[in-house]
Amino acid sequence: MSGTAIPVGVNLTSIGVDAAWWLTAARRVEAAGYDAVWAWDHFVSRGRLDDPVLECWSTIAAAATVTSRLRVGSFVTNVMNRHPAVLARIVGTVADIAPGRVELGIGIGGHPAEHAAYGIEFPPPMERAARLEDAVAAIRALWTGGPVDLGRPSIDLRRAYAAPAPGPTPRIIIGGETPAGARLAARIGDAWTCFAERYDALLPVFLTGLEDAGRSRSDVAILVAAELPDRGAESVTGVHEPSDPGSAADVDDLGAWAAAWQARGADELVLHWVRPHQLEAVLAAGERVWA
């Protein structure tokens, strides 16, 4: 990507907006020069449970059809929300719509009220992490097209076919905000993502995890996410809150911000949770860099 040292994407809010706003915003993000657009994967808000929330993968599929260059993906999919084989088929189909432009960010989830509301089980973190590892194994196997026979503790596949097989295969990006998550990403991910204020604490854990897994730094990309410094009146209770103001995204000088993060070891950046009142500033920042 020209204009910034490393690619920069935008994670658009899914709460309190309709599909028309989201898709228009995605087209404008592409026109402003950004590399990717990301969608949150929860069914209900972490604020008021009756807030409108767009479903992640149907939104991504629609975004794939109204853009031509932009990468589209989940930031990040909750492994408990969909059976892994169903998720593999969903993402594989979106990848057939937009070959080479689809990313699967996936993590263990963390919104108990959502699970209670929808009747989705919510086991302890260690069990969800084990299910995530099983899910990644199943998804990778199914993306070969099949037939797949795979027996894991939480999933059993028997002569499972999954055509169309995506080509190229989407990256699987592991969301890891804890030491255990960073180690899991190092072991099984194509990429690891964390928030800016957790990066310095987790990077050594991630690098040690790579060494332990016999993988090199070039095997697994690092995506760093940061929110804009002004959360404004539309803040949503319970979404990620930066604890260190110095870790916030700098849209006043996007190029310098990206260069600084490249120097710290990041391969890609995500402007996280951009809401309607923030969108114009984000678009203007992109136009200054990539116009």
- SS in 3 state form for the chain? CCCCCCCEEEEECCECCCHHHHHHHHHHHHHCCCCEEEECCCCCCCCCCCCCECCHHHHHHHHHHHCCCCEEEECCEEHHHCCHHHHHHHHHHHHHHCCCCEEEEEECCCCHHHHHHHCCCCCCHHHHHHHHHHHHHHHHHHCCCCCEEEEECCEEEEEECCCCCCCCCCEEEEECCCHHHHHHHHHHCCEEEEEHHHHHHHHHHHHHHHHHHCCCHHHCEEEEEEECCCCCCCCCCCCCCCCCHHHCCCCCCHHHHHHHHHHCCCCEEEEEEECHHHHHHHHHHHHHHHC
> What is the model's pLDDT at position 49?
86
Question: What gap in Å lies between CA 204 and CA 237, rounded to an integer?
Answer: 31
Question: What gap in Å lies between CA 257 and CA 247, rounded to an integer?
Answer: 10
User: Which tokens is 88 given?
Assistant: 């593999």
Output DSSP code: residue 32.
T
Q: Domain 8-290 adopts which CATH fold?
A: TIM Barrel (3.20.20)
> What is the model's pLDDT at position 229?
87
Q: How confident is the model at residue 2 (pLDDT cuts 50, 70, 90)?
A: low
Average pLDDT over residues 203-210: 98
Average pLDDT over residues 74-78: 98
Average pLDDT over residues 53-77: 98
With a pLDDT cut of 90, the percent of the chain lying above it is: 91
Q: How confident is the model at residue 131 (pLDDT cuts 50, 70, 90)?
A: very high
Burial of 112 (0-12, 13-18, 19+ CB in 10 A): exposed
Task: For residue range 161-191, list pLDDT tens digits in order.
Answer: 999 999 999 999 999 999 999 999 999 999 9
pTM of structure: 0.94
The domain ranges of the chain are 8-290
